[in-house]
Structure 1
Amino acid sequence: MSWDDRTVRALLHRMFDAAVESAAPAAAVLRNLPPKPAGRCIVIGAGKASAAMAAALDAAWPDINVSGVVVTRYGHAVPAGRIRIIEASHPVPDEMSLEAGRLILRAVQGLAKEDMVISMISGGGSALLVAPSGDMTLADKQAVNEALLNSGATIREMNAVRKQLSLVKGGRLAMAAKPAKVVTLVISDVPGDNPSDIASGPTVADDSTIEIVREILQRRRILLPARALAALDMDLETPKCGDLPTDVKIIAAPSLALAAAARVATDSGVKPLILGDAIEGEAREMGTVMAGIALSARTKREPVDGPAVILSGGEGTVSIGTVKPGRGGRNTEFLLSIAVALAGTDGIWAIAGDTDGIDGTEDAAGAIVSPDTLSKSMQAGLDAKGLLASHDSYSFFEKIGDLVKTGPTLTNVNDFRAIFVS
């Protein structure tokens, strides 16, 4: 096959679409429903896929007394019959995030042993479901989230902090549902698929501690508002293993998304090399490293001989520091770093995108890099290195017409990255 620009771009798009489709919420939920309860079924949840997950259960169990509340991101709601859908802000919580916390806590009060709580959890739930501890206000919670997002902390570190400052995260929501049985269905968006990390694990036992959180704050130089510090000083640990007899199932995950993309590559006569689904680090540094792997494959035919595609998942971070940032998310920053490192090398293309369809806070899932990316940018009068330094990767790809826009996909299995080497 002739691997020209049009053909490679089409293949990369098909792989991204296959990765997203592998995490379709409705099908994943229907494959993993528990036996029906003798009593009521209370559906709660938080995340970008939660509304679609709830809708699938409502349709599947018309003969069961189903009710509940789930919260999703603005623009991600779908009708879910008897289950109330709330939309709230992401990545920084708003008043509707607080309302969701109040209503979901209320929904699990006064239940009996024969009742069942089904918790629909997916990425994004940490910001969407909010119930601050102590005397913290919404402004305090927003300040904590902003500080975490700008710190360069990993998603696991950020969630450890969030859990210790919440009345619902880190298993506390499951404690509130006792004595009802709690079943948690999870679409993973975190490296390693630890369910306690996804949406800060509202119905999952927490393995972090206040001591760990204090170490994270010090190492990452994260300054908390006074009321958040006071809440932390209350020393109210989250529930640990043994405290929560919950049934937790991962129903979709980054590894399955990469496997789906690999099948598309194989069917097209391209060798897939999966580096892993839990690769983390600074997005621009990851881009430099991945570019080096691609260059080795192109010139030395190692670690894979082309035509091949190098696949990876996980979550990069973007540390803003004191620079006033432009527009962009971790995927477009990763790609701009790759473009700079490749310097127009022939025979290498790349795609990266967030499987929820939204990279950071922008309207694009990600973008595509091709051998002529830098030449197109120079014709447009763009300074690739300067835009990378100012975290303005969205503007770079927007001006050369290489953003990937899917709209909200109603699921989320973290970032997808594919580098094609001919």
Structure 2
Amino acid sequence: MTPQTSSIDPRALLRQMFDAAIASAQPAHCVPPHLPERPRGRLIVVGAGKASAAMAQAVEAHWHGLLEGLVVTRAGYGVPCTRIEIVEAAHPVPDAAGLAAAARILDKVRGLSADDTVLCLISGGGSALMPLPLSGVMLADKQAISRALLKSGVSISEINCVRRHLSAIKGGRLAAACYPARVVSLLISDVPGDDPCDIASGPTVADPSTCADALAVLQRHEIALPDAVRAVLESGHGESIKPGDPRLARASATLVATPQRALEAAAAVARAAGVTPYILGDSIEGEARELGKAMAGIACQVAQRAQPFKPPCVLLSGGETTVTVRGAGCGGRNVEFLLSLGLALAGEAKVHALAGDTDGVDGMVDIAGAVLAPDTLLRARALGLRPQASLDDNDAHGFFGALGDAVVTGPTLTNVNDFRAILIL
């Protein structure tokens, strides 16, 4: 370390940046400025996602008038509300609680008038939490396809394309059911590019993709199709609501929190500590382990040659990588990225890193991510761990857990996708 950086605690600074990213997307701060004006008729609040309960709580705290509603969130992510009912369900594989909640949400918005307003609170995770299949498709079919897609390395946009065409509530169908009421959607984005179609599979926005697109995704990744699913897609029965549909004429959607804003909040923390931040992108995708190798190459060039940036600096990025699970481990795209990064860095003395999911859940595990230090591989081998074997087995969670380097936040009540910070001193 140089005299300029000798006073920096790398682990503490990385965690401060991660916490700032999460704080920037808290519903209590980002929802109230976007509430609609009071309608002549009723205000019905519905929604789904890991942040939806906290969003509902923010609405209740700032809405001076009558309202009612129901939102569904991930188990453990509920918060107290008095006028909006909170239902908890399973994520990422849907369950019967989410199925029942989705059906009730549709019931709540039927039969409204043009004087009524439906406030939709949508955040990441909403797809799995509202698993209302089309007629002929069973919940078990959707569960099986969800499990297969999650293990296949398919991108989130492809997963959501499939979900939209097997759902009775996604792909604009929720907004269509609200017609002729006004529909105001507040969105917390967890997807690369912030496309409203992909946030919870777009229940309140038009969808330009087709059943043929969804079928192509499943065939390309060799996902086994139940007969009912194949019939829905091949017949076109699963077609979503398209742009220009008059039932969506009074529907609007506003992004209230995004990955980019979260990265900017982390960058501000770095500047205050005397570290120059560089945001490399908020929508980076691809296999997590391959991204780890690529980012290691950049970090080494910075550390060893001060190119293209001079230390001290931090390389920030977001997006949603994928993990193709082939081993016995449970995956986790942030920890897999980090372990691959560490192997490629090979103990580079100037580089520290943190990678975590802003919702507090990396893959199927209630652990946000982990931290990496120059001595991580050395400590691991002293404990008898084999880093490459852990990566090959998709068991990066087990690797970092054994070292005590896991990052555990508990439910963050928001979700603006993955956060990656590589600190070079």
Paired with 1:88 and 1:126, the residues of 2 have a C-alpha distance of 11
2:281 aligned residue: 276
User: Which residue is 2:108 aligned to?
Assistant: 107
Aligned residues of 1:91 and 1:127 also touching (Cα < 8 A): yes
Which secondary structure does the structure 2 equivalent of 1:233 belong to?
Answer: helix
1:265-292 deviations in whole A, cap 9, x for unaligned?
1111111111010000000001111111
AA aligned to 1:14 is Q
Map Cα deviations across residues 75-100 of structure 1 (whole Å, 9 max, x no partner): 00011211111000000001101111
Equivalent residue number for residue 288 of structure 1 = 293
* Matched-pair contact (CA < 8 Å) for 2:212–2:234: no
TM-score, normalised by the number of residues in structure 2: 0.96
Deviation at 1:2, TM superposition (A): 5.6
1:305-384, aligned counterparts within 5 Å? 305-320=310-325, 323-384=326-387
| Cα distance per residue 1:173-218 (max 9 Å; x no partner) | 1111111000000000000001110000111111211121222222
Contact 1:328 1:395 in 2 (8 A): no
Moved beyond 4 Å, runs of 4+: none
Q: 1:301 aligns with which of 297, 303, 306?
A: 306
* 2:64 match: 62
- Alignment deviations for residues 20-70 of structure 1 (CA, whole Å, 9 cap, x no partner): 00101121110111111111011110000000101111222232x211110
Instruction: Tell me which amino acid in the other structure corresponds to 1:327.
Output: C
Rounded Cα–Cα distance in structure 2 between residues aligned with 1:219 and 1:144: 14
The 5 A counterparts of 1:5-404 are: 7-63=9-65, 65-236=66-237, 237-243=239-245, 244-245=248-249, 246-320=251-325, 323-404=326-407
- SS of residue matched to 2:377: helix
Q: Report the 3-state secondary structure (helix = DSSP H, G, I; strand = E; otherwise coil) of the residue aligned with 1:192.
A: helix
* Counterpart for residue 414 of structure 1: 417
Deviation at 1:230, TM superposition (A): 1.7
Q: Which moved more, 1:210-219 or 1:331-340?
A: 210-219
Aligned partners of 1:143 and 1:224 also within 8 Å: no
**Distance in 2 between residues matched to 1:116 and 1:26, nearest whole Å:** 21
Q: Which moved more, 1:120-129 or 1:294-303?
A: 294-303
Q: CA deviation at 1:136?
A: 1.4
Native 8 Å contact 1:143 1:225 kept in 2? no
Contact 1:134-1:230 within 8 A present in 2 as well: no
**Structure 1 134/232 Cα, relative in aligned 2: closer, same or farther at 3 Å?**
farther
Q: Check the 8 A contact 2:215/2:234 in 1, yes or no.
A: no
The one-letter amino acid paired with 2:19 is: D
Partner AA of 1:299 in structure 2? Q
Cα distance in 2 for residues equivalent to 1:347 and 1:269: 16
Deviation at 1:152, TM superposition (A): 1.1
Paired letter, 1:386? A
Deviation at 1:6, TM superposition (A): 7.0
Aligned-residue offset at 1:340: 0.6
The answer as to whether partners of 2:323 and 2:331 remain within 8 angstroms in 1 is no
Letter in structure 2 aligned against 1:376: R
- The residue type equivalent to 2:353 in the other structure is A
Q: After TM superposition, give the deviation of residue 5 of structure 1 in Å.
A: 9.6
> How much does 1:360 deviate?
1.2
User: Identity across aligned pairs (percent)?
Assistant: 54
Distance 2:288 2:328 in 1: 15
Alpha-carbon distance in 2 for matches of 1:382, 1:329: 18
- Greater shift in the superposed pair: 387-396 or 129-138: 129-138
Q: What SS does structure 1 have at the residue aligned with 2:118?
A: strand
Q: Secondary structure at the match of 1:31?
A: helix
Using the alignment, how far apart are the partners of 1:19 and 1:302 within structure 2?
26
Amino acid at match of 1:371: P
Task: Please state whether the residue corresponding to 1:134 is helix, strand or coil.
Answer: coil
Structure 1, residues 311-347: CA drift from partner, whole Å, max 9, x if none? 0000010011xx3431341100110001111111111
Gaps in structure 2 of 5+ consecutive residues: none
Stretches of structure 1 lacking an aligned partner (at least 5 in a row): none
Matched residue type, 1:177: C
**Aligned residue pair count:** 419
* 1:125/1:198 contact within 8 Å kept: yes
Relative to structure 1, the CA distance from residue 72 to residue 35 in structure 2 (aligned partners, 3 Å threshold; closer, same or farther) is same
SS in 2 for 1:277: strand
In the alignment, the residues of structure 2 paired with residue 329 and residue 408 of structure 1 have an alpha-carbon distance, to the nearest angstrom, of 17
CA deviation after TM superposition for structure 1 residue 3, in Å: 3.8
Secondary structure in structure 2 of the residue aligned to 1:302? coil
Q: Distance in 2 between matches of 1:92 and 1:331?
A: 19
What CA distance in whole angstroms lies between the structure 2 residues aligned with 1:32 and 1:62?
A: 14
CA RMSD of aligned residues (A): 1.2
Q: Residue 143 of structure 2: SS of its match in structure 1? A: helix
For 2:152, what is the secondary structure of its paired residue?
coil
Structure 1, residues 244-285: CA drift from partner, whole Å, max 9, x if none?
221110000000000011111111111111101000000000
Query: Which deviates more, 304-313 or 30-39?
Result: 30-39
Distance 2:296 2:271 in 1: 22
